[in-house]
Amino acid sequence: MIGLPTPSPLTEPFWSGAADRQLVRQVCDDCGTNLFTPRIACPACQSEGLTWQRSDGLGTVYSHSVVHRSPTGDRDVPYVVAIVDLDEGWHLMTNIVGCDPAEVHIGQRVTVAWEDRDGRRLPVFTPTPNVDLHHGEGAPA
C-alpha cells in the first residue's frame, strides 16, 4: 500500500500547518520566490533565507487526471488528481473533491478544503462557485 509521506524536519511546518487547516509554503526572504516542495535553499537565488507563510488557498486547475482504477484499491473511484496553480505563484499536487470528476477542467477556479486520511489532515480543493477562467467569469462550469 502506498502511504502518506513521513514528515521530516524540512516538511514539518507544512504538516503542522495542515493539522491546523492552514495551507503554508516557503517564500524566499531575498527574492520573494514561492517554493513547494520544501527546500533548504531557493532555486532562483540560492538564498537559505526561507520563511513559511500562509497561503490564501485559492488557485486554478493547471492539469488533472481522473483515476478510474485505484493503484492500491483503498480509494473509492473515480477520483481526481490535479496540479493546482496557487494564486501566490506555486503549484501543489492534490485531489479535487466535491464535484463530479467529469466536470473538472483546466482553468477551473478552486479553493482549499481539508480531508483527514490515515491520521493526517491533507489539503484538497473544491470548485469555487461562479468563477471559471476557462469559460469566463461567472460562466457555468
Please tell me whether residue 27 adopts helix, strand or coil conformation. strand
pTM attached to this predicted model: 0.87
Find the mean pLDDT for residues 47-74: 94
Residue 118: what pLDDT? 84
Predicted local distance difference test score (pLDDT) of residue 140:
45
Looking at residue 95, what DSSP letter applies?
E
Is 77 within 8 Å of 65 (Cβ atoms)? no
* CA 51, chain centre distance (Å): 19
pLDDT higher at 70 or 96: 96
